[in-house]
Structure 1
Amino acid sequence: MNWRMREVVLTVILSIVCGIIYLGWSTLSIPISALFGPVGSEWMFGIWVIASPLVAYIIRKPGAALIAEVAAAAVEVLTGSQFGLSSFFVGIFQGIGSELAFALFRYKRFTLIPLVISGILGAFGSTIYDVIANGFGYYSVKLLLTILGLRVLSGAILGGYLAKILADTLCKTGALQAYAIMKERYYGQDQRDAKKHSSSSRL
């Protein structure tokens, strides 16, 4: 499926914005982790995966979630992330997880449920990377399950759900008129209106 130039440009813009947000969020997580312990900042996780569901919800094409997350992670690294290249590598794992959510629905559903699942699978992806990078011995079972549980919850809310809110808000401004998210709304509404008209004509 071919991408149009405006879709590429929007993906780049949103990825840059998300990458900068990731950098600020990472900086904020350090004092919170210091104050509340190793899992003290895990509730923040969802923001680090928001690029995937946000861009995929708007563009609605295969690869959008993965590309957006990897690009945002690259921006985070290039703008001075204290986590270095690990931010980029974890972004790849998160992007793959988030992309899988839309693939499961064959890229035909872009409702709240796939967006939430995208955030959840992004959480799984990041956790897989952490286990690979740190080794299984680094975690106790309780610690690993606690981290995963908090990430999944945060990914669902601050990742998938918040992405939908942000995109829907942008739609109301008229800024996304040329993108698939708005076309689906118009065509979907036209089809529903046609069905209603057809049903009423039979009465």
Structure 2
Amino acid sequence: MKTWKMKEVVLAVILAVACGVIYLGWSTLWIPISAIVGPVGAGFMFGIWVIASPIVAYIIRKPGAAFIAEVAAAAVELLTGSHFGLSALLVGVFQGIGSEIAFALFGYKRYNLFTLMLSGALAAVFGMLYNIIANGFGYYTLEVFLITLGIHVISGMILGGWLAKVVVDALANTGVLEQYELMKEKRKKDNVNVSGL
């Protein structure tokens, strides 16, 4: 199992804190939006709440990165005053598990757009699992459950997975991620491509 370097731990903490603050702001924004379009309609916002996992996993590329990032970001959201209370942390644990599974399925060797979007989708599935456990099966009708799940999965794929790749690739272009696994893997591929010419 790959061990974490101190710089990776520090970066994961910084990103998790940043995402946790974003989560808190997004939670505050969710209140008026859900009042206008309803909680099901506001499900399109879901993906931002799972973006920490694919961002950190994509950069660091180590087992546990997705789970740790999501739980840490959820903890920051809770500690900074989320109106969701303790459930913000508990759902973060479930979402982190879902996200982590996406990378584990490929032996922590694939960090492409598909895997990042799958990470967001599975985070949504496990987030809904938490909602069922917390609220009971009677909380949703089957139709509302399926619609909510569908919206969350799509949002998780786009605002969680796809947006995470856009953000990290933009950061990578600035040169600030040169010492991390993301750029090391990229350099290896570039060298293989050059030598194969």
Same fold (TM over 0.5): yes
1:36 and 1:68 map into 2 onto residues whose CA distance is: 30
1:113-152 paired onto structure 2 within 5 Å: 113-152=114-153
Q: Which residue of 2 aligns with 1:154?
A: 155
Structure 1 residue 38: Cα displacement: 2.4
Q: Which residue of 2 aligns with 1:201?
A: none
Structure 1 residue 180: Cα displacement: 0.4
1:21-36 paired onto structure 2 within 5 Å: 21-36=22-37
Q: Which residue of 1 aligns with 2:177?
A: 176
Residues 1:98 and 2:99 are matched in the alignment: yes
Q: Which residue of 1 aligns with 2:14?
A: 13
Residues 1:86 and 2:92 are matched in the alignment: no
2:161 and 2:40 map into 1 onto residues whose CA distance is: 21
How big is each residue's C-alpha offset from its partner over 1:33-82, in whole Å with a ceiling of 9 and x where there is no partner?
Answer: 11112212100000000000000000000000000000000000000000
Structure 1 residue 193: Cα displacement: 1.1
Structure 1 residue 144: Cα displacement: 0.2
2:166 and 2:105 map into 1 onto residues whose CA distance is: 22
The TM-score normalised by the length of structure 1 is 0.96
Gaps of 5+ in 1: 197-203
2:156 and 2:37 map into 1 onto residues whose CA distance is: 20
Q: Which residue of 1 aligns with 2:70?
A: 69
2:110 and 2:139 map into 1 onto residues whose CA distance is: 38
Taking only aligned residues, the RMSD between alpha carbons, in angstroms, comes to 0.5
2:159 and 2:187 map into 1 onto residues whose CA distance is: 27
1:51 and 1:189 map into 2 onto residues whose CA distance is: 27
Q: Secondary structure at the match of 2:41?
A: coil
1:168 and 1:129 map into 2 onto residues whose CA distance is: 31
Indicate the structure (1 or 2) with the bigger Cα radius of gyration: 1
2:175 and 2:105 map into 1 onto residues whose CA distance is: 30
Match for 1:144: what amino acid?
F
Q: Secondary structure at the match of 1:2?
A: coil
Q: Which ranges of 4 or more aligned residues in structure 1 deviate by more than 2 Å?
A: none
Q: How many residues get paired?
A: 196
1:32-47 paired onto structure 2 within 5 Å: 32-47=33-48
Match for 1:186: what amino acid?
R
2:65 and 2:182 map into 1 onto residues whose CA distance is: 13
The range that moved more, 92-101 or 36-45, is 36-45
Q: Secondary structure at the match of 1:177?
A: coil
1:102 and 1:38 map into 2 onto residues whose CA distance is: 30
How big is each residue's C-alpha offset from its partner over 1:121-164, in whole Å with a ceiling of 9 and x where there is no partner?
Answer: 00001100001000001110000001000000000000000000
1:170 and 1:91 map into 2 onto residues whose CA distance is: 25
